[in-house]
Amino acid sequence: MSLAAKPDRTKHSRTGENVRVAYGCSTMRGYRDQQEDRYAIHLELPVAGSSVQHENMFCGVYDGHRGSTMAEHVSNTLHVTLAASEAYQNRRYPEALDKSFRRMDQDVRDGKVVSDDVEEEDRNYPNPKGEPTASGCTATVALLSGLQLTVANAGDSRAVLCRDGKATRLSTDHSPYEPGELRRIKAAGSTVVRGKVGMMLAMTRSLGDIGAKSNPKVSIDKQAILGSPDVTETRLTLEDEFMVLATDGVWNSLLDRDKIGRTFLKELDAPALEAILARIGCLPEKVSKAAMVTKVDGLSKAEVRRAINPLNEEDQYTVYASGEATSSQNVCDAVRWCIAQRLPLAKVCECVLDFCFENFNGNDNMTIVVVAFLHGRSLKEWYTWVANRVRRAQGRKTRIFETFEPRPDSSMSLNQIVKQALQTV
Q: What is the pLDDT of residues 202-239, one digit of tens each?
A: 999 999 999 899 999 999 999 999 999 999 999 999 99
- Domain hosting 221: range is 3-7+16-252+360-392
CA–CA distance, 202 with 191 (Å, rounded to integer): 12
Look at residue 410 and tell me whether its pLDDT is greater than 80. no
Q: Which pLDDT does position 53 carry in this prediction?
A: 66
DSSP code for 164? T
Phi, psi (deg, nearest 5) at residue 167: -75, 120
Of 11, 60, 66, nearest to 38 by C-alpha is 60
Q: How many residues does the chain have?
A: 425
Amino acid code (one letter) for 212:
A
Asked whether residue 225 falls in the same domain as residue 137, the answer is yes
Residue 326 falls within a domain, yes or no? Answer: no
Alpha helical stretches, state H, 280-423: 289-298, 301-308, 313-340, 345-358, 379-394, 414-422
Alpha helical stretches, state H, 236-285: 248-251, 257-267, 270-279
Asked whether residue 21 falls in the same domain as residue 94, the answer is yes
Q: How confident is the model at residue 124 (pLDDT cuts 50, 70, 90)?
A: very low
Residue 420 falls within a domain, yes or no? Answer: no
Residue range 326-342, pLDDT digits in tens? 999 999 999 999 999 99
Of 220, 198, 3, nearest to 101 by C-alpha is 220
Q: Please report, for the domain that includes residue 33, its CATH number.
A: 3.60.40.10
Residue 122 falls within a domain, yes or no? Answer: yes
In angstroms, the Cα distances linking 425 to 234, 273, 385 are 35, 52, 21
Look at residue 310 and tell me whether its pLDDT is greater than 50. yes
Output helix, strand, coil percentages for the chain, rounded to the nearest 5.
40, 25, 35
Asked whether residue 382 falls in the same domain as residue 278, the answer is no
Asked whether residue 98 falls in the same domain as residue 151, the answer is yes
Q: Which pLDDT does position 121 carry in this prediction?
A: 54
> Given 291, 310, 329, which residue is the final one in a domain?
310
What is the CA angle 101-243-43, rounded to 5? 65
The radius of gyration computed from the CA coordinates of the chain, to the nearest angstrom, equals 22
Asked whether residue 381 falls in the same domain as residue 240, the answer is yes
Q: Which pLDDT does position 412 carry in this prediction?
A: 93
Which DSSP string do the residues of 189-243 spell out, in sequence order? T--EETTEETTTBSSSB-EE-GGGG--TTS-GGGSSSB-PPEEEEEE--TTEEEE
Which has the higher per-residue pLDDT, 393 or 31?
A: 31
What is the CA angle 340-344-350, rounded to 5? 95
Residue range 70-98, pLDDT digits in tens? 999 999 999 999 999 999 999 999 999 99
Of 417, 365, 347, 389, nearest to 22 by C-alpha is 347
Cα dihedral: 131, 98, 323, 281 (round 10): -60
414-418 average pLDDT score: 96
Asked whether residue 35 falls in the same domain as residue 147, the answer is yes
Residue 129 falls within a domain, yes or no? Answer: yes
Residue 353 falls within a domain, yes or no? Answer: no
> Given 270, 294, 310, which residue is the final one in a domain?
310
CA–CA distance, 357 with 363 (Å, rounded to integer): 7
Mean pLDDT, all residues of the chain = 92
Q: Which pLDDT does position 5 carry in this prediction?
A: 82
Asked whether residue 173 falls in the same domain as residue 267, the answer is no
Residue 241 falls within a domain, yes or no? Answer: yes
CA–CA distance, 343 with 331 (Å, rounded to integer): 16
Can you tell me whether residue 399 is helix, strand or coil?
Answer: coil
Residue 400 falls within a domain, yes or no? Answer: no
Of 360, 361, 343, nearest to 415 by C-alpha is 343
Q: How confident is the model at residue 1 (pLDDT cuts 50, 70, 90)?
A: low
Asked whether residue 167 falls in the same domain as residue 197, the answer is yes
Residue range 264-283, pLDDT digits in tens? 999 999 999 999 999 999 99
Check: CB of residue 263 under 8 Å from CB of residue 220. no
Residue range 353-369, pLDDT digits in tens? 999 999 988 999 999 99
b/e per residue 196-226 (b: at least 16 CB within 10 A): ebbebbbbbbbbbbbebbeeeebeeeebbbb
Consecutive H or E run containing 26: strand 21-32
Largest CA distance in the chain: 75
Asked whether residue 259 falls in the same domain as residue 196, the answer is no
Asked whether residue 245 falls in the same domain as residue 259, the answer is no
> How many structural domains comprise the chain?
2
Asked whether residue 204 falls in the same domain as residue 300, the answer is no
Asked whether residue 90 falls in the same domain as residue 220, the answer is yes
Residue 98 falls within a domain, yes or no? Answer: yes
Q: Which pLDDT does position 55 carry in this prediction?
A: 84
Look at residue 16 and tell me whether its pLDDT is greater than 50. yes
Full-model pTM: 0.94
